[in-house]
Amino acid sequence: MTRVTGKLTMRSAPAEIFRTLADGVRQHAVTPTTGAHRDAPVTIVTQYTTRMWFGTVVTTEEATLDPGRSVRWRHVDGPLTGSVEAFRIEPGDAGGALVVYEGEIRARHPLFRGPLDRLFVAPATKRISMAPLRALRVTADGT
């Protein structure tokens, strides 16, 4: 497994960041979810489609929403099966938040393991995973 990390500070409150991330997860739910899960931890099966330079990648993941604290994904099908990623939301300065991205990434296909995990798979996964956070910061914070 290759470890990936990232951090992003935001001016928005942790609760608002979590709510927006959770809404995004629910939009990718394989089966519809209701608002009843907004205050208690819940695991939702999700599916994401990502366009890459070589084609389209589809991943199925179990997303665990821990209200106000974190969103965690465990890849159950796709090129990163067995990998785990999480956004942990921590209180920051002046009512803002620090969002910490952590992942343990491993390509499912043997040809992409080893050096290609570190040189291609992990950096691409980090870039793709951090993109919604950066977009959220632009939308919510205007930065």
Cα 43 from Cα 46, distance rounded (Å): 9
Q: Report the C-alpha dihedral over residues 77, 79, 82, 85, rounded to 10 degrees.
A: -100
Encode pLDDT of 91-132 as tens digits.
Answer: 998 889 999 999 999 999 888 888 888 999 999 999 999 999
Residue 62 contacts residue 74 (beta carbons within 8 Å) = yes
Cα 4 from Cα 73, distance rounded (Å): 14
Cα 67 from Cα 19, distance rounded (Å): 8
- pTM of the predicted protein model: 0.88
